Amino acid sequence: MKPYIMNYSETITMKQSDAIQNKNILDITTKTFTIETDDHDEVLGLATIITERIENSDRDEISAYSTFQTHTVENSDKDEISCAGTMVTAVIENSDTDECLLFSTVETRELEAADSDEISYLMADTTIITNELEATDDDE
């Protein structure tokens, strides 16, 4: 009996979810370079992740339950990040009212067997990392 090969193709149009379109809700790993056997990433954001231009009126909001950047294995890491602010800035921000509530590791390069980080910048004007002079930046 001869094998039969059936060729079939169909084009469908997939509509993006309203939740993704309107609220930028992600339940994924944005970028990973190693195996993650149990990964429950969750990012709820209306935000600019990386910006390299001046944004005069940019009200970013990020609610994340994940590690932003890690380079090693984390056996048990219950990250929680809730911030309305700038995580990294490389230019002068004269008026930047950042607000952050962190129970998390922003960046780690070491093994963390049990990581219970608690940093509270609730309702504070806070810049996590800055690479340039900020003339008026009242970080708390």
Q: Where are the domains of the chain?
A: 18-140
What is the pairing mode between strands 88-89 and 129-130? parallel
Catalogue the long-range contacts made by 25-29 (C-beta closer than 8 Å, 24 or more residues apart): 29/66
Q: What pLDDT is stored for residue 112 in this prediction?
A: 61
Query: Rounded to whole angstroms, how far apart are CA atoms 129 and 93?
Result: 12
State the pTM of this model. 0.28
> What is the 3-state composition of the chain as percent helix, strand, coil, each rounded to the nearest 5?
5, 25, 70
Q: Determine the Cα angle at 27 with ends 22 and 28, to 5°.
A: 120
What pLDDT, on a 0 to 100 scale, did the predictor assign at position 48?
Answer: 61
Give the tens place of pLDDT for each residue, 63-72.
Answer: 665 565 666 6
Give pLDDT tens digits for 116-133.
555 554 444 455 555 555
Percent of the chain whose pLDDT exceeds 90: 0
Helix (H) or strand (E) holding 18: helix 18-23
pLDDT of 123:
43
Note the pLDDT tens digit of each residue in 21-46. Answer: 444 555 555 566 666 666 666 656 65
